[in-house]
């Protein structure tokens, strides 16, 4: 007898409230009731099984948001197969490396250009999947299986910059939904507007599983657009209650020409994460009648910490990311893994049902990332106050976040060093008003060379995603190094801060 079986809230609500609105696809205008969504998932089960997709096999996706990706993910989970959404913003060489790692049997895309596929893998258009599902008869409902099996692989970069696939089980999905539903006050009448990309944990888990667990509605847009999102948040017929964004997206909303939060009549809060959110910004939104609720999570842990929806507490604790959800426990520890007192910074270590069991093809990463007791080392430095609220005060030493995307300098450096005019390079993150942080590359040119920024940008864009390309390039005679030859990036960061510091 299984201790825990795969949760299937869509099937449950197809019985409880089959006519209730489950979702809307804004790109096509299509709508699904829970009964219709469940039937489409069973049609997709038949389509996928007919292609030979079985338990444990991977199906990758390189495509923009649409409800059909949710149909695909749910169908794969019913089959015991694994959904692998890949970041379509990556370059073709980057995508090819991820595909070589996860070795999918099938890749769905909505783009014309395609990366090199692993042997035995084939490519199909998402539109083909949609047509085949429409034409198919629903399959018999598959038997439930272990909820501890991996059902999604989400790629994130490790501290070395090497991409690694976090294993998400259906237990993870359910625990994340429960955590957010409690912290975010989600009920059956909820309506989530979903335009975070589905290759992120927020996009495929946090903005989808809370509403389907409660039998609410999720509205999928193909992507974020400030003016369109402002209109959607105020749409009188939809009554959006929950919306996720990174702080840079919130800034874009408020600077759009049609910004009018008085129209967001049913919105409970803007839920933010993925990048530092200054207390002054949170208070600005509160002053304009909108609860900005910051939280904390990772690809490996989903929803972990969250703030209450009380305006008074949000103002008092502005800058904090909250308390742990009901299925999570968080410790703040020193370098010896000993719990530190309140008010003392330490590494955030996460325990709970929402924690990944490890990484695809990377057993050594699990050994490195987890404590002997099974807690995930986040690499983030937090401080807990006397009321139990945690504030993140620092991040992994070298990683920076640009527009909500994690950027690891070693990956950028590896691309730059391939340029013939670059002899040595070190990349750091520097503050930027629009993106939060952007890359700054310190370059020691090859003898007799003086590479220009434009040619370095073009070179980088051929190898890595555009958001990883540095916005600033500085030619220097040498890089500061320790006696053992390691680059002292803290010296570069201090130099960069001094250059932008206001004169006294």
Give one DSSP letter per residue of 183-232, joined into a string. Answer: HTT--TT-EEEE-S-TTSHIIIIITTHHHHHHT-EEEE-SS--HHHHHHH
Q: Is the pLDDT at 18 greater than 70, yes or no?
A: yes
Distance of CA 434 to CAs 401, 404, 468, Å? 12, 11, 15
Instruction: Answer yes or no: is 380 within a domain.
Output: no
Work out the average pLDDT over 110-118.
94
394 domain-assigned: no
Q: Residue 444's pLDDT is what?
A: 93
pLDDT at residue 485 in the model: 56
* Mean of pLDDT over the chain: 92
How much is the average pLDDT of 356-362? 94
Residue 165 lies in a domain: no
Q: Residue 265 pLDDT > 50, yes or no?
A: yes
pLDDT of residue 483: 45
Q: What average pLDDT does range 383-403 have in this prediction?
A: 84
**Mean pLDDT to the nearest integer, 34-57:** 98
Last residue of a domain, one of 147, 173, 190: 147
CA dist 343 → 301, 375, 385, 388, 389 (Å): 24, 21, 6, 10, 10
User: What is the reported pLDDT for 501?
Assistant: 52
Would you state the pLDDT for residue 159? 36
Token pair for 120: 């035995």
Cα distances from 393 to residues 212, 236, 345, 384, in angstroms, run: 34, 39, 8, 10
Q: Confidence band (pLDDT; 50, 70, 90) for 55?
A: very high
Q: Which of 102-106, 128-132, 142-146, 382-386 is the least confident region?
A: 142-146
Residue 423 clears pLDDT 50, i.e. is over it: yes
Check residue 379 and give its pLDDT: 86
> How many percent of the chain have pLDDT more than 90?
75
Question: Which residues, listed in sequence order, are joined to residue 107 by a DSSP beta bridge?
Answer: 60, 123
Q: What domain range is 451 assigned to?
A: 400-500
User: CATH no. for residue 405?
Assistant: 3.30.300.30
Average pLDDT of span 197-208: 94
What confidence tens digit (pLDDT) does each residue in 210-257 have?
999 999 999 999 999 999 999 999 999 999 999 999 887 888 899 899
pLDDT, one tens digit per residue, over 425-470 is: 999 999 998 899 999 999 999 999 999 999 999 999 999 999 999 9
Distance CA 439, CA 493 (A): 11
Alpha-carbon span 116 to 458, nearest angstrom: 22
What's the total number of domains in the chain?
A: 2
* Position 255 in a domain: no
Q: Is 188 exposed, middle or buried (0-12, 13-18, 19+ CB in 10 A)?
A: middle
Determine the Cα–Cα distance for residues 481 and 72; give it in Å rounded to an integer: 50
The H or E element spanning position 436 is strand 436-445
Token duo for residue 357: 């069991």
Q: How many CB atoms are located within 10 Å of the residue 250 CB?
A: 21
For residue 52, being part of any structural domain is answered with yes
Is 53 a domain residue? yes
In a domain, 194, yes or no: no
What pLDDT score was predicted for residue 359?
95
Show Cβ contacts of residue 200 under 8 Å, excluding neighbours closer than 6 positions: 154, 299
Q: Write the CATH number for 63.
A: 3.40.50.980
Structure tokens at 205: 């888990």
Residue 305 lies in a domain: no
**17 vs 22, 35, 36, 38, 224, CA distance in Å?**
10, 8, 11, 12, 30
Residue that terminates a domain, selected from 147, 174, 207: 147
Alpha-carbon gap, residue 205 to 177, rounded angstroms: 8
Q: What is the DSSP letter of 452?
A: -
Per-residue pLDDT tens over the stretch 288-343: 999 999 999 999 999 999 999 999 999 999 989 999 999 999 999 998 899 999 99
Greater pLDDT, 413 or 205: 205
**Confidence tier at 2 by pLDDT (50, 70, 90):** low
Final residue of a structural domain among 90, 123, 147? 147
Q: What three-state secondary structure class fits 399?
A: coil
Q: pLDDT class for 486, splitting at 50, 70, 90?
A: low
Mutual angle of helices 409-416 and 453-461, in 10-degree steps? 110
Mean pLDDT of 470-486: 81
């Amino acid at each position: 007898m299984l201790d825990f079986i795969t949760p299937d809230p869509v099937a449950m609500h197809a019985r409880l409230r089959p006519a209730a609105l489950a979702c809307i696809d804004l790109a096509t205008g299509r709508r699904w009731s829970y009964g219709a969504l469940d039937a489409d998932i069973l049609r997709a089960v038949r389509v996928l099984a007919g292609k030979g997709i079985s338990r444990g096999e991977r199906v990758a996706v390189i495509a923009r948001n649409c409800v059909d990706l949710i149909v695909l993910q749910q169908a794969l989970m019913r089959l015991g197969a694994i959904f692998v959404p890949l970041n379509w913003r990556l370059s073709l060489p980057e995508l090819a490396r991820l595909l070589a790692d996860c070795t999918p049997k099938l890749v769905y895309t909505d783009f014309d250009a395609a990366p090199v596929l692993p042997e035995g893998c084939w490519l199909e258009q998402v539109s083909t999947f949609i047509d085949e599902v429409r034409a198919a008869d629903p399959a018999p409902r598959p038997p439930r299986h272990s909820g501890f099996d991996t059902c999604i692989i989400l790629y994130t970069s490790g501290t070395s910059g090497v991409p690694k696939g976090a294993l998400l089980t259906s237990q993870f999905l359910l625990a994340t939904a429960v955590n957010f539903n409690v912290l975010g006050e989600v009920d059956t009448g909820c309506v989530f507007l979903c335009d975070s990309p589905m290759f992120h944990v927020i996009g495929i888990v946090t903005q989808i599983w809370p509403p389907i667990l409660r039998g609410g509605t999720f509205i999928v847009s193909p992507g974020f657009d400030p003016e369109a999102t402002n209109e959607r948040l105020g749409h009188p017929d939809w009554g959006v209650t929950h919306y996720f964004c990174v702080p840079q997206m919130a800034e874009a909303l408020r600077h759009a020409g049609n910004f009018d939060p008085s129209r967001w009549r049913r919105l409970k809060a803007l839920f933010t994460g993925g990048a530092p959110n200054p207390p002054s910004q949170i208070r600005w939104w509160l002053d304009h009648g909108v609860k900005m609720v910051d939280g904390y999570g990772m690809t490996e842990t989903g929803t972990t910490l969250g703030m209450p929806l009380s305006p008074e507490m949000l103002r008092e604790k502005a800058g904090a990311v909250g308390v742990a959800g009901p299925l999570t426990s968080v410790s703040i520890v020193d370098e010896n893994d000993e719990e530190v007192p309140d008010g003392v910074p330490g590494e955030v270590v996460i325990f709970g049902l929402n924690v990944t069991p490890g990484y695809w093809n990377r057993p050594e990463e699990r050994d490195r990332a987890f404590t002997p007791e099974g807690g995930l080392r986040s690499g983030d430095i937090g401080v807990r106050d006397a009321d139990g609220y945690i504030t993140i005060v620092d991040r992994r030493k070298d990683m920076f976040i640009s527009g909500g995307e994690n950027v690891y300098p070693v990956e950028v450096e590896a691309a730059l060093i391939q340029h013939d005019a670059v002899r040595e390079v070190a990349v750091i993150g520097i503050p930027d008003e629009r993106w939060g942080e952007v890359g700054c590359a310190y370059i020691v040119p090859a003898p007799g060379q003086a590479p220009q920024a434009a040619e370095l940008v073009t070179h980088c864009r051929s190898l890595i995603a555009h958001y990883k390309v540095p916005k600033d390039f500085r030619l220097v005679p040498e890089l500061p190094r320790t006696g053992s030859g390691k680059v002292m990036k803290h010296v570069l960061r201090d130099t960069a801060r001094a250059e932008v510091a206001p004169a006294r």
